[in-house]
Amino acid sequence: MSEPFVINGIQINPGETRDIDIFVAKQYDFTDLDMPVRVIRGREDGPRLFVCAAIHGDEVIGVEIIRRLISNKYLRKLKGTLIAVPIVNVFGFNNLTRYLPDRRDLNRSFPGSPNGSLAARLAHIFVEEIMGNATHGIDIHTGSRHRTNLPQVRACLQDKYITALAKEFDVPVILDADIIDGSLREVSVKHNVPLLVFEAGEALRYDEVAIRSGLAGILAVMRRLEMIPPVTAKTKRVDPIIAKDRYWIRADQSGILIIKRRLGSIVDEGDVLGRISDPLGNHNIEIRAERPGLIIGYSQLPLVNRGDAIFHIATFAKQSSVEKSLTDFDDKFDYEER
C-alpha cells in the first residue's frame, strides 16, 4: 500500500495530478501571494523529485523548462512523484528582480525560520513543504543580469552518487562547486536530499538552447532514477567533462568592452578574449586568458568598471577531452545556430 503524500495539507493519491498554491504572504494591497506547485504522482511508488526555478526571481529560463517538463509525454508513465515548483521567489519574479523586497538573497537564507525575515519565512516554507517531501532535487539557475552561462551542472562531487546523477545531464561541463552558507545546496546535504544545480543562460532572457538542454538533462536524470521509461530510439549523448578548477578574469581599467571570444570557446594561455577602450579609442588594453580552459560565462554588458568580472573560465586536466564534449553538445542542440 502506498504511503500518504501530503503537501500544504493536501493529499495527492497515486495516479493523481494536483496544482497547489502554497500561501507565502499578503501583499501591500492585502491580496494573497502564493507559490505555485504542481504535483504529479505516478501510480507506482518511486523517487520523489522536486524541480524548482526562480529562487532568484529574475532567472526565468527555469520557469519555461518546468512548463515544458510537466507537459512532457514521458510523464504519462511516471513512477514515483514529481514536485514542480516553477517560481519559488514569487516576490522577485513579479518585480523582475533577483531579490526579495527586503533586498535579501533567498539562496543565502536557507533553511529559514517561521518567525524570521521575509526571506527566512519563504525559505522555511520551501524546506518544510517541498524538500521535506522529496528524495532528490534539481535547482535551475541562470547567470545574473548581463551575464550569461554555458549550460553546466554544479554539484558536490565528493559524493559519488551525486556525481553519477550529474553525468546524466546533457551539458558539456560539470563544476565541483563549494557549498555556500545559507544556500539550498547546503540544506539539501543536511536533509540527505541529493541535489543538482543546473546553470544556463542569462537573467530575464529566454535561451532556447539552455531551455532544451535543461529539459533533456532533467529527463535523463529521471530515467537514471527509473522514474520514466528509457528511450527506445538511439539518441546522441553528451558526455560532460568535470572541470579541475575555474577562475574569473577582471577588468584592469574602466571603459567599453569588446568581446572577441564567445561562450563555449576553448582558449589557451595568452589568447586575446577581448579588449577595453575609452570612447575615443585612445586607451586600449587587451584581455588575455591566464590559463588554458573553456569560457563558461561572461559579461554581455559593454560598459565595465575596473575590477568587474568579465570572463569565467573553467580549466581541465586534459584540455583535449573538452573538444569532444562541446562538439557533441553543439551537434545535439545546434548551439552554433541559436
**CB of 331 closer than 8 Å to CB of 236:** yes
Angle between helices 208-224 and 320-333 (to 10 degrees): 100
- What is the Cα–Cα distance from 139 to 89, expressed in whole angstroms? 13
CA count, 13 A, side-chain hemisphere, 322: 23
- Can you give the pLDDT at residue 92? 97
Phi, psi dihedral angles at 35 (to 5 degrees)? -95, 115
Residue range(s) of every CATH 3.40.630.10 domain in the chain: 6-224
- Can you give the pLDDT at residue 233? 74
Which grid cell sits at 71?
507537459
Classify strands 173-176 and 241-242 as parallel, antiparallel or unpaired: parallel
- Can you give the pLDDT at residue 222? 99
Q: DSSP letters of 137-193?
A: EEEEEEE-TTEEEEEEEEE-TTSHHHHHHHTTSS-SEEEEPPPPTTSHHHHHHHTT-
- Can you give the pLDDT at residue 2? 76
Phi, psi dihedral angles at 232 (to 5 degrees)? -80, -40
> pTM for this structure?
0.95
- What is the Cα–Cα distance from 267 to 258, expressed in whole angstroms? 17
- What is the Cα–Cα distance from 288 to 228, expressed in whole angstroms? 46
Residue range(s) of every CATH 2.40.50.100 domain in the chain: 245-315
Q: How many helices and strands (H and E) does the chain possess?
A: 7, 19
Provide the residue-wise pLDDT of the chain in tens; the chain has 338 residues. 678 899 999 999 999 999 999 999 999 999 999 999 999 999 999 999 999 999 999 999 999 999 999 999 999 999 999 999 999 999 999 999 999 999 999 999 999 999 999 999 999 999 999 999 999 999 999 999 999 999 999 999 999 999 999 999 989 999 999 999 999 999 999 999 999 999 999 999 999 999 999 999 999 999 999 999 998 777 778 889 999 899 999 999 999 999 999 999 999 999 999 999 999 999 999 999 999 999 999 999 999 999 999 999 999 988 778 888 998 898 888 754 43
- Can you give the pLDDT at residue 338? 38
Q: Which CATH class is domain 245-315?
A: mainly beta
Q: Which CATH class is domain 6-224?
A: alpha beta
Sheet-wide strand order for 284-288: 284-288, 272-277, 255-259, 303-304
Which grid cell sits at 227?
522514474
DSSP secondary-structure letter at 253? S
- Can you give the pLDDT at residue 15? 97
